[in-house]
Structure 1
Amino acid sequence: METALVKRIGFKVIRKLKIVRAFVPQRRVDDDALIREIGSEHLVAALNRLPLILTGTSESKTLQRIEKSHPDDWSRMSEVAQNALRHRFDLLGSGLVDLGPRINWCTDFKSGKSWDKRDYRLQKLVSLSDRSDVKIPWELSRCNHLLPMALSYLKNGDDSYPNEFANQVVSWAEGNEYLQTVNWSCPMDTAIRCINWLVAYQTFAQQHRFSEEFSKFLTVELYKGAKSIYENLEVTGDGHNTNHYLTNLLGLLYLGEVFGKTIRANNWRQFAIDEFEKEMLAQINSDGLDYESSLPYHGLVTEIFLMAYLLSTKCDFQFSEQFRNRLSLMVMNLDRFSGADGLVDNFGDNDDGRILKLFWRKGRDYRDIVDLGMSLLPGTRTNPTMTTPECACFGLSTPKVSEAAGTHLDSVHLAESGICQMRSRDFTLNFYANPVGTAGLGNHKHNDLLSFTLAHRGTPVFVDPGSFEYTVDEDVRNQYRSTSSHNTVMVDNCEQNRMVRGLLFLLRSDGTPKIIDWQSNDDFDLVVAEHDCYNRLDDAVTHRRSIYLCKSSQAILIHDHVHGRSSHRLQFNFHVDNMRIEALENYLIHFKPASSESGLLFANCDETKPFQIGTNWISPSYGVKYPAISLSTEFECQLPYSTTFAIMPRTECNPMETMMQIRKLRQKLQW
Structure 2
Amino acid sequence: MSVAEVGHRVRQKSMDILQRIGFGLARQRMAAGHAGNPWTQLPKNVDVTPYLVAADGILAGQFSVFSLRHLDLGFPPQWNRCPKTGVLAPLTFGKSLNYRDESLVGDIKYLWEPSRHLELVTLAQAWHLSGDHRYAQGARDLVDSWIDQCPYPNGPHWTSSLEHSVRLVNWAVAWHLLGGEQSPLFEGESGKAFRERWVQSIYQHCHFISGHFSRYSSANNHLLGELMGLFIGALTWPLWPESKRWRDRAARELEVEALRQNAADGVNREQAFWYHHEVADMMLLCLMFARGNGVDFSADFTARLEAMMEFIAAVMDASGNVPMVGDSDDAVMVRFSREQGFNPYRSLLATAAVLFGRVDFARKARSTDDKTLWLLGDAAAGRLGELVGSCAPTGATRAFPDGGYWVLGDRLDQSDEVRVVADAGPLGYLSIAAHGHADALAFTLSAAGTELLVDPGTFAYHTQKQWRDYFRGTAAHNTVRIDGCDQSVIGGNFMWNAHAAARCHEFASNDRVDAWEASHDGYQRLPDPVTHRRRLRLDKVAGLLEVTDKLVCNSRHQVEIFWHFHPECRVQLVDDVVHAESGRASLSLRMVGGSLRARIFRGSSEPMAGWYSPRFDEKQPSTTVVFSGEVEAASTLSTRITLHIATEQQPATCAVQENEGNQ
TM-score by length of 2: 0.87
SS for the counterpart of 2:429 is helix
Shift of 1:129: 6.9
Which position in structure 2 is the counterpart of 1:326?
304
Q: How does 1:239-638 map to 2 (within 5 A)?
A: 241-360=219-338, 365-379=344-358, 381-384=360-363, 385-394=366-375, 395=377, 396-397=379-380, 398-399=383-384, 400-401=387-388, 410=396, 412-425=398-411, 426-500=417-491, 503-583=492-572, 587-593=576-582, 595-596=583-584, 599-606=586-593, 608-615=595-602, 616-638=610-632
Which shows bigger deviation, 121-130 or 151-160?
A: 121-130
Which digits, 9 at most, give the CA deviation of each residue in 1:626-655, with x for residues without a partner? 110000022122121111112222489xxx
Amino acid at match of 1:632: V
Alignment of 1:178 onto 2:178: no
Which digits, 9 at most, give the CA deviation of each residue in 1:87-133, with x for residues without a partner? 21111112221013441112221122221001111211113679932
Distance 1:516 1:255, change over 3 A: same
Shift of 1:559: 0.8
Distance 1:32 1:475 in 2: 41
Which shows bigger deviation, 529-538 or 372-381?
A: 372-381
Q: Gaps (5+ residues) in structure 2?
A: 186-190, 412-416, 603-609, 647-663
Which position in structure 2 is the counterpart of 1:669?
none
Which shows bigger deviation, 532-541 or 640-649?
A: 640-649
Shift of 1:401: 5.0
Alignment equivalent of 1:231, drawn from 207, 211, 221:
211
Which position in structure 1 is the counterpart of 2:607?
none
Distance 1:19 1:226 in 2: 19
Would you say the 8 A contact 2:352–2:361 is kept in 1? Answer: no
Distance 1:278 1:515 in 2: 28
Amino acid at match of 2:407: Q
Which position in structure 1 is the counterpart of 2:652?
none
Alignment of 1:209 onto 2:184: yes
Shift of 1:496: 0.4
SS for the counterpart of 2:506 is strand
Distance 1:309 1:25, change over 3 A: closer
Share of identical aligned residues, percent?
23
Distance 1:275 1:483, change over 3 A: same
Distance 1:451 1:175 in 2: 47
Alignment equivalent of 2:167, drawn from 187, 193, 212:
193
Which digits, 9 at most, give the CA deviation of each residue in 1:448-489, with x for residues without a partner? 000011111111111111111101111111111001011110
SS for the counterpart of 1:145 is helix
SS for the counterpart of 1:614 is strand
Distance 1:80 1:28 in 2: 41
Which digits, 9 at most, give the CA deviation of each residue in 1:503-533, with x for residues without a partner? 2111234332100111012111100000011
Which digits, 9 at most, give the CA deviation of each residue in 1:294-335, with x for residues without a partner? 010000000011111112222232211111211110122123
TM-score by length of 1: 0.86
Q: Gaps (5+ residues) in structure 1?
A: 68-73, 653-671
| Number of corresponding residues | 616
Distance 1:193 1:485, change over 3 A: same
Would you say the 8 A contact 1:587–1:607 is kept in 2? Answer: no
Shift of 1:262: 3.1
SS for the counterpart of 2:361 is coil
Shift of 1:159: 1.6
Distance 1:380 1:128 in 2: 49
Would you say the 8 A contact 1:525–1:549 is kept in 2? Answer: yes
Distance 1:106 1:452, change over 3 A: same
Distance 1:318 1:205, change over 3 A: closer
SS for the counterpart of 2:494 is strand
Would you say the 8 A contact 1:146–1:197 is kept in 2? Answer: yes
Which position in structure 2 is the counterpart of 1:665?
none
Distance 1:32 1:136, change over 3 A: closer
Amino acid at match of 1:467: T
Which digits, 9 at most, give the CA deviation of each residue in 1:569-603, with x for residues without a partner? 1111111011353546664322121x23x522222
Would you say the 8 A contact 1:328–1:380 is kept in 2? Answer: no
Amino acid at match of 1:209: P
Shift of 1:607: 6.5
SS for the counterpart of 2:631 is strand
Which position in structure 1 is the counterpart of 2:657?
none
Amino acid at match of 2:355: L
